[in-house]
Chain A
Amino acid sequence: MSQKSKMNIPMLAACILLCLTLISVHMTSGLYARYVSRDSGEDSARVASFDVEAKWGDNDVSISATQEDNGSYNFTITNNSEVDVKYDLVLTFEEAFPKYLKVSIKEENAELAVDGTVDEENGKVVSFANLGMLDSNGDSANYELTFTVIDIDALVDSASGEDSGAISVDLQFNAVVRLEQID
């Protein structure tokens, strides 16, 4: 007598699914040998600090033109920022800058002084554009701003009271040091 075995289809499907599941687990669990490469990165941002300073010495300077022909102001610019800076200097006088006077600026240890540029329109503004640059993190520069009498006769003529035996002229000015971050 022959006996014909019957195939249990649901059981067969379950077995196939189980096999596929095992294969998937195997592939994803690392049991399957392969080369693996991983990399990671981290980006962060912080705003750079801007900490600059300009310090001046004495406010009042006197020139006795009989004895010497010039007088100077000293000031220091310091850059404690995390960025480089450039700067310029602008002097604004209450009256037109007199023709008997010259103003120049010289960085400490520099060989040459730079003359200021008088604004031609109103004559009251003297500027030193692009005066210098400072690196970040503590760079500093010392300057000497010097006024020089270049024509004493014009100075005498400009003042009244010549007969009094002495003349004196006061010049009031405002100086602005402008510092700007360099890209």
Chain B
Amino acid sequence: MKLTTVRKLNKSIRISSATIAFVIITVLALSGGLYAKYVREFSFNGKLTISVDLAESFSLYEHQVAQNSDGTFIKSDGARVVSNTYYVVPGIDIPKDPTIEIKGKTKIPALLYIEVIDGVDHKEIDFSLESHWVLLEGVQGAHEGAKVYVYATGGKDGRPIVLDNNTNPDSISNIEILTENQEGNTLSVSSRAKYGSDISLVFYAHLVQIDDKYKENASYTNAIDLFNNFRTKITSVPAESE
């Protein structure tokens, strides 16, 4: 075969291939175009903030106690602690002033409860609670052996005190638990206290939100009901003495 003939044949083949490729691409493009659709996306960034106002912050504290060289105790006026440890001897007074502080007004209505775990032999150390603490008979606290009290206007027939925006801030800045005696907030250790006795007195505090129905009709009964079925609560750190 002549060289010129071969060249012509190759050129013909190249042209044919290009033509076929063109046809294929065209067909694909056209068929694709038949199914093309307009599509557009819009993006948006959002931030969702969910908050629950349980109540204003509050704390249960007592003042730090130091022991003198003669065995007596002295209360600090400044330092606040969650517990004190005492090594007591018969016949002395030990300062103890567990106090609840609600910082500012509560945003939502709430009732204030305390739990008291009384591990004290009252023949050795006697104490009583302030009259604004009303015992809720038959109510089991969240802690084993604890008795539950609600902050109230006083007496078993008293109404629980609803803490909300209408509460006077001064009245909730320092809510004392123990009754003051002549020496102030002290516990007197009996002269008959036995050597080696373990004495434990623990307090817990709860703020429990209330619904409007409780707010309008806060009573001893519904204070019990609320404590047993509270929706959300805040528990303070314990004030404890040993």
Q: Which A residues lie at the B interface, using CB under 8 A?
A: 50, 52-54, 56, 59-67, 71, 73, 75, 81, 83, 85, 101, 147, 149, 152-153, 155-156, 159, 162-181, 183
Is there contact, CB below 8 Å, between B49 and A175?
A: no
- Measured between C-beta atoms, what is the minimum distance from A65 to chain B in Å? 5
Whether B55 is near chain A, meaning CB under 8 Å from some CB there, is: yes
Whether B236 is near chain A, meaning CB under 8 Å from some CB there, is: yes
In the complex, A52→B46 CA distance in Å? 21
Segment touching A, from B1-9, B20-28, B37-45, B184-192? B37-45
Is there contact, CB below 8 Å, between B43 and A175?
A: yes
In the complex, A32→B56 CA distance in Å? 109
Chain B residues in 8 Å Cβ range of A162: 54, 234-235
Contact pick for B51, options A65, A175, A176, CB 8 Å: A65
Chain A residues in 8 Å Cβ range of B18: none
Chain B residues in 8 Å Cβ range of A147: 48, 50
Is there contact, CB below 8 Å, between A165 and B57?
A: yes
| Most B Cβ at <10 Å: residue of A75, A153, A173 | A173
In the complex, A62→B47 CA distance in Å? 8
Encode B130-151 as 1/0 by CB contact (under 8 A) with A: 0000000000000000000000
Chain B residues in 8 Å Cβ range of A156: 52, 54, 232
How many A-B residue pairs have C-beta atoms within 8 angstroms? Tell me.
Answer: 139
Is there contact, CB below 8 Å, between B44 and A152?
A: no
- Measured between C-beta atoms, what is the minimum distance from B221 to chain A in Å? 24
Whether B108 is near chain A, meaning CB under 8 Å from some CB there, is: yes
- Measured between C-beta atoms, what is the minimum distance from B235 to chain A in Å? 7
Is there contact, CB below 8 Å, between A177 and B52?
A: no
Chain A contact residues, majority secondary structure: strand
Whether B213 is near chain A, meaning CB under 8 Å from some CB there, is: no
In the complex, A81→B42 CA distance in Å? 16
- Measured between C-beta atoms, what is the minimum distance from B104 to chain A in Å? 9
Contact pick for A171, options B37, B48, B108, B231, CB 8 Å: B48
Is there contact, CB below 8 Å, between A153 and B58?
A: no
Is there contact, CB below 8 Å, between B42 and A170?
A: no
Chain B residue with Cβ nearest A100:
B50
Is there contact, CB below 8 Å, between B232 and A60?
A: no
Contact pick for B49, options A62, A67, A152, CB 8 Å: A62
In the complex, A162→B54 CA distance in Å? 8
In the complex, A183→B37 CA distance in Å? 8
Is there contact, CB below 8 Å, between A60 and B38?
A: no
In the complex, A180→B39 CA distance in Å? 4
In the complex, A64→B37 CA distance in Å? 44
Other A-B contacts than A169-B50, A173-B46, 16 sampled, CB-CB below 8 A, are: A59-B47, A63-B51, A64-B51, A64-B52, A153-B232, A159-B52, A162-B54, A162-B234, A163-B237, A165-B207, A165-B234, A167-B52, A169-B49, A174-B46, A179-B40, A179-B42
Is there contact, CB below 8 Å, between B48 and A170?
A: yes
Whether B107 is near chain A, meaning CB under 8 Å from some CB there, is: yes
Is there contact, CB below 8 Å, between A165 and B54?
A: yes
Is there contact, CB below 8 Å, between A178 and B232?
A: no
Whether B77 is near chain A, meaning CB under 8 Å from some CB there, is: no
- Measured between C-beta atoms, what is the minimum distance from B1 to chain A in Å? 51
Is there contact, CB below 8 Å, between B48 and A63?
A: yes
Chain A residue with Cβ nearest B51:
A168
Given known A-B contacts A63-B49, A63-B51, A165-B55, A152 and B42 have beta carbons under 8 A apart: no
Given known A-B contacts A152-B232, A179-B40, A181-B39, A173 and B53 have beta carbons under 8 A apart: no
Chain B residues in 8 Å Cβ range of A67: 53
Chain A residues in 8 Å Cβ range of B41: 176-179
Chain A residues in 8 Å Cβ range of B99: none
